[in-house]
Structure 1
Amino acid sequence: MFRYIALLLLLCTTAHASAIVDGLITNGNFEAGPKPNQLNGTVVMARNGIPSWEVSGFVEYIKSGQKQGDMMLPVPEGAFAIRLGNEASIKQCFPVEKGMYYAITFSAARTCAQDERLNVSVTPEWGVLPIQTMYSSSGWDSHAWAFKAKFDRVCLVIHNPGVEEDPACGPLIDSIAMRTLYPPRITNTNLLKNGDFEEGPYFLPETTSGVLIPPNIEDDHSPLPGWIVESLKAIKYIDSHHFSIPKGRRAVELVAGKESALGQVVRTIPGKTYTLAFSVGDAANKCVGLMTVEAYAARGIVRVPYVSKGTGGFKRAVLKFAAVSNRTRVVFLGSFYHMTTDGSLCGPVVDDVTLISTRTRPLHM
């Protein structure tokens, strides 16, 4: 009897743990598709035609290599993706742990509309992600969006609010994944949270262009815990499997010049001196030339030039400053726009950021 109860408890624990797994959500790559009688050409006619999803409006089921006029519609992972037409949406509900933070990662591509954007929501939170700027030359970008679970079960909705003359002129969506975020803390060796950027959204294994972290005006909770994208453009989150990283497994790439700024507010003591140290390098993604990272803190500023050969490498930089208030904003941005030879936006890499107070010897009376 006791063994039976123990087995039930183990099964329940396993089931609960498996409900929240870092990776693709159920049928997040849309490889399981509608039955033939649920399609009218490429248009999904049944509300539950795509397994594990609920569709609304003009939703198309796209096969890799499919053409629209002279334009070929690529698929970043697997053989299928979906396209959201005018006012169309997809929805999936799943269990989460109430009070925890999560990051959604998904791939999106423009088609024929000029001003495409996506409304991403998990009740009661939502954000509008602009996708008219393409950062990678493949036509597909991976985007991240974060939320705090207010309930034990939530529903993710991705909606295209656009209204075009051609209802098929909407964004392509593929590879929707989720990762649990654990809020980082300051330590006795670093006043900055997540200074090594190891805590962040899920990387889609089949994509090689990193993950875009949106400006904070589009997201109440940052997918990069501790940090806020203060600029109009996104910053790129990169991993060591596809890029050169100064330290650890993850870093950030400032891909939009002065429009790509990353910041964090830290507690400081007015008049006390602090040392901000960080690495500047390149991601080994054929981004070449003179790159410059600007770092700001209180009234301090440092401009760090780095000559990139596009093959990886980094150097350390330091900014010493005196705090002028009990809260100090630390900001990093790139000075210029850069582009790889294949047309992808790129820029300097920032990693391994530490902030410590400068200790002074006590006076002997």
Structure 2
Amino acid sequence: MEGDTYSLAWKATSKAVRVTFHNPGVQEDPSCGPLLDAVAIKELPPLKSTIDNLVKNGGFEVGPHVFKNFSTGILIPSKQQDLISPLPGWIVESLKPDLPRLRWWQGRESAIAQVIRTVPNKFYVLTFTIGDAKNACHGSMMVEAFAAKETVKAGYVSQGKGESKTASLRFQAISDRTRITFYSAYYHSKIHDYGHMCGPILDDVRVISNSQMSSSLMVTPYCHE
């Protein structure tokens, strides 16, 4: 069965909650309607800070339930639609009504961000991994990352084999809060399925102070294998 997976989150206000699904009847043919299947409810644990990473949920390990039979990603609401995100720690932004897909994007219309605690004038290093979902998506992809006044464009040429590469960015904090933001610079579709949009996967997002970096490690704002 083909279909989209959606995720919504809420904060419980009582011991019992009623979950309701309603078909608003917007389809052209009244005899037709959507098929609802595979409903799951998952408790999201509170996030914990770690000494070696200022980013919370940097590996996206805390988030919506993933159904094994679906590989098209999970559609999650932007902050404009829902203040409580099913992806804790992250702010999902979208400039169009379509919902961004968890862990990969469909163009500049979608972005993901997080605000971290920093010390003004102190230097930090942002690292992250980009790759493909091993879903037959081929071609060039790019993620733009922003932190304080710095930015980096991380390019990746996908062969659809589930490979990845890392990128890094050194920045100087200008306040006690720093926003890190990721955009998908552009996207494309599968070679044999123009209706299936392809975009980069983001994973292993980390921010540490520059003093924590090994003196033997040179950090430069570009992608490396």
What is the aligned partner in structure 2 of residue 161 from structure 1? 24
Asked whether the 8 Å contact 1:281–1:313 carries over to 2, the reply is yes
SS in 2 for 1:291: strand
Between the aligned partners of 2:156 and 2:28, the Cα distance in structure 1 is 47
Deviation (angstroms), 1:163: 4.7
Q: Distance in 1 between matches of 2:187 and 2:19?
A: 34
2:218 alignment counterpart: none
Distance 1:205 1:282 in 2: 18
3-state SS of 1:177 partner: coil
2:54 counterpart SS class: coil
Larger radius of gyration between Structure 1 and Structure 2: 1
Letter in 1 for 2:127: A
The 5 Å alignment of 1:198-217 reads 198-217=61-80
* Equivalence for 2:207: 355
Q: 1:289 aligns with which of 139, 143, 148?
A: 139
CA distance, structure 2, for counterparts of residue 202 and residue 190 of structure 1: 24
CA RMSD of aligned residues (A): 1.7
- What is the CA-CA distance between 1:161 and the residue it aligns to? 3.4
In structure 2, the CA distance between the partners of 1:164 and 1:198, relative to structure 1 (3 Å rule), is closer
- Runs of 5+ unmatched residues, structure 2: 213-225
Is 1:337 aligned with 2:187? Answer: yes
Counterpart check, 1:190 vs 2:190: no
CA contact (8 A) 1:287 1:308 kept: yes
Q: What is the aligned partner in structure 1 of residue 42 from structure 2?
A: 179
Contact 1:235 1:262 survives alignment (8 Å) = no
Q: What are the within-5 Å matches in structure 2 for residues 1-365 of structure 1? A: 76=1, 138=2, 140-163=3-26, 166-232=29-95, 233-237=98-102, 252-254=103-105, 256-340=106-190, 341-342=192-193, 343-359=195-211
**Local SS of the residue matching 1:148:** coil
Instruction: Tell me how far 1:330 sits from its aligned partner.
Output: 0.7
Aligned AA (2:42)? R
1:165 Cα shift? 6.2
Deviation at 1:167, TM superposition (A): 3.1
Q: Distance in 2 between matches of 1:271 and 1:167?
A: 61
Cα deviation, residue 164, structure 1: 5.7
Change in Cα spacing, 1:180 to 1:300, as seen in structure 2 (3 Å) is same
Q: Deviations over 1:180-219 (max 9, x none)?
A: 1112122100001000111111112222222122212222
| Identity between Structure 1 and Structure 2 (%) | 48
Q: Distance in 2 between matches of 1:165 and 1:294?
A: 40
Q: Is the 8 A contact 1:183 1:226 kept in 2?
A: no
CA–CA separation in structure 1 for the residues paired with 2:27 and 2:57: 41
- Find the aligned partners of 1:293 and 1:165 in 2 and give their Cα distance: 38
- 1:295–1:333 CA contact under 8 A, matched in 2: yes
| 2-structure distance, mates of 1:308, 1:164 | 37
The two structures have a TM-score, normalised by structure 1, of 0.54
Cα deviations across residues 45-94 of structure 1 (Å, max 9, x unaligned)? xxxxxxxxxxxxxxxxxxxxxxxxxxxxxxx3xxxxxxxxxxxxxxxxxx
* Matched AA of 1:151: S
Amino acid at match of 1:304: A
Post-superposition Cα deviations, 1:309-364, rounded to whole Å, max 9, x if no partner, equal: 1112111100111111221111111111221232311211110010011128xxxx
With the length of structure 2 as denominator, give the TM-score of the two structures: 0.86
Listed one character per residue, the Cα deviations across residues 269-321 of structure 1 (whole Å, up to 9, x for unaligned) are 22111110001111111111111110011111000111111112111100111
Alpha-carbon distance change, 178 to 269 in structure 1, aligned in 2, over 3 angstroms? same
1:211, 1:282 → 2: CA distance? Answer: 15
